[in-house]
Amino acid sequence: MNDERLREFARALREEAGHDDVAARFTRARVMASVRESKIRRRTRVALLVPLAACFVGASAWGMANGTLGRLVARAERALELVIAPAPAPSASAAPVRHKSRPRPVESAPSITEVTPPPPLEPIEPIEEPPAEVIAPPSPRNVAPPPRKQADPGHELYREAHRAHFVEQDFERALAAWDRYLAANPRERLAPEARYNRALCLVRLGRLTEARAALTAITEGATQGYRQAEARALLEALPQ
């Protein structure tokens, strides 16, 4: 909206305020019509420019994608004479410029000094090492055999009585073996067990009087408390 239209609009307001209804309405209608026409023209320009801009952008993108944009730009430059001419190549007749080389200083040959050879070395006499002393291994005849462990006769007697009593169940022979063991080893650590086993052999053989005497001795401390409860129970179980 320019200044002239503003003045017309102001004049219309003044005329309307001055009670001139017909002229004021006419002026106002004319101003409003001109405003509408300007809006319509502006909208028409926008409606035309937006599709044109969209077409230009799409064509540019399509040209960049398939390579036709560069050819179109080159044609436009040739049409407008905007192509820059290449620089002229140097002519072959021009002689190349040669630079004068500076003379190199002559290097003097290194001086050679004579080196006197060292005196010959005197030969070194080899040192004879004494022969190593060879130690002969001892002959098997000179090696004494390890001493054999002698069997304990007391253990052999106990083993014989135990086998006859509990394995072979020969109570006559077992009783004789227990007597031999107790006669030879009365204070050995297996003597209390041997006394109790001897009493069992007497019970098995039916020699109850001798069995009671042997069991009574065990209950009274002959074995220092070993098998004392078993001897008392067996003594009570014997028939009178």
- For residue 192, what pLDDT is reported? 94
Question: In whole angstroms, how large is the CA radius of gyration of the chain?
Answer: 73
Q: How many CA atoms are closer than 13 Å to the CA of 183, on its beta-carbon side?
A: 7
Structure token pair of residue 161: 């009585």
* Structural domain range at position 18: 3-50
7 found inside a domain? yes
pLDDT at 122: 59
Split into its structural domains, the chain has a count of: 2
* pLDDT in the model for residue 158: 95
pLDDT of residue 9: 72
Q: Are 72 and 63 in contact (CB under 8 A)?
A: yes
Domain boundary among 32, 50, 68: 50
Asked, for residue 161, whether it belongs to a domain, the answer is yes
Contact 161, 194 (CB under 8 A): yes
Is 108 contained in some domain?
no
Residue 185 covered by a domain: yes
The SS3 assignment for 123 reads coil
The answer to whether residue 74 sits within a structural domain is: no
On the CB side of 12, how many CA atoms lie within 13 Å of its CA?
16
Distance, CA of 164 to CA of 173 (rounded, Å)? 7
* d(C-alpha 185, C-alpha 143), whole Å: 37
CA–CA dist 32, 39 (Å, integer): 11
Cβ 1 vs Cβ 35: under 8 Å: yes
Tens-digit pLDDT string for the chain (240 aa): 566 777 777 777 766 655 456 666 777 777 788 878 888 888 888 788 888 878 777 777 776 777 676 676 677 667 666 544 455 555 544 445 555 556 565 555 445 445 555 555 555 555 666 566 566 555 555 556 565 656 677 889 999 999 999 999 999 999 999 999 999 999 999 999 999 999 999 999 999 999 999 999 999 988 888 999 999 999 999 987
CB 232 within 8 A of CB 199: no
In CATH, what number is assigned to the domain containing residue 214?
1.25.40.10
198 found inside a domain:
yes
86 within some domain: no
Q: What is the pLDDT of residue 110?
A: 47
Give the per-residue pLDDT at 45: 82
pLDDT for 66: 73
In a domain, residue 191? The reply is yes
